[in-house]
Amino acid sequence: MNADDEALLEDLLDGEHRALARVISKIENRAPGYRDLVSALYAHTGDASVVGITGSPGAGKSTLVDKLAEEYRDRGETVGIIAIDPSSPFTGGAVLGDRIRMASTVGDMDVFVRSMSARGTLGGLSTATADAVKAMDAFGKDRIIIETVGAGQNEIDIVRTADTVAVLVPPGSGDDVQTLKAGILEIADVFVVNKADRPGSDRTVQELREMIELDSGSGFGGGGHHGADAMDDHGGSAVATQESAEDDAPESWTTPIVETVATDGTGVETFIDELAAHQRYLVDSGARVEKAQQRSAEEIRTLLREDVHAMLESELERAGGIDDLADAVHRGETDPYTIADEVLEPVRSCLGELETENTE
The domain segmentation of the chain, as residue ranges, is 45-285, 297-359
CB count within 10 Å of CB 65 equals 24
**What was the pLDDT predicted at 15?**
94
| H helices, E strands: number in the chain | 12, 7
- Residues whose CB is less than 8 angstroms from the CB of residue 292 and which lie 6 or more positions away in sequence, other chains included: 46
Cα gap 250→252, rounded to integer Å: 6
Q: E strands within the chain?
A: 49-55, 79-85, 111-117, 143-147, 164-168, 190-193, 257-259
**What was the pLDDT predicted at 225?**
42
Tell me the CATH class for 45-285.
Answer: alpha beta
State pLDDT tens for residues 201-220. 888 898 888 888 876 654 44
Cα gap 85→101, rounded to integer Å: 11
State pLDDT tens for residues 41-83. 999 998 999 999 988 777 889 999 999 999 999 999 999 999 8
Listed as ranges, residues in the chain with pLDDT below 70 are 86-108, 118-126, 150-157, 173-185, 215-251, 360
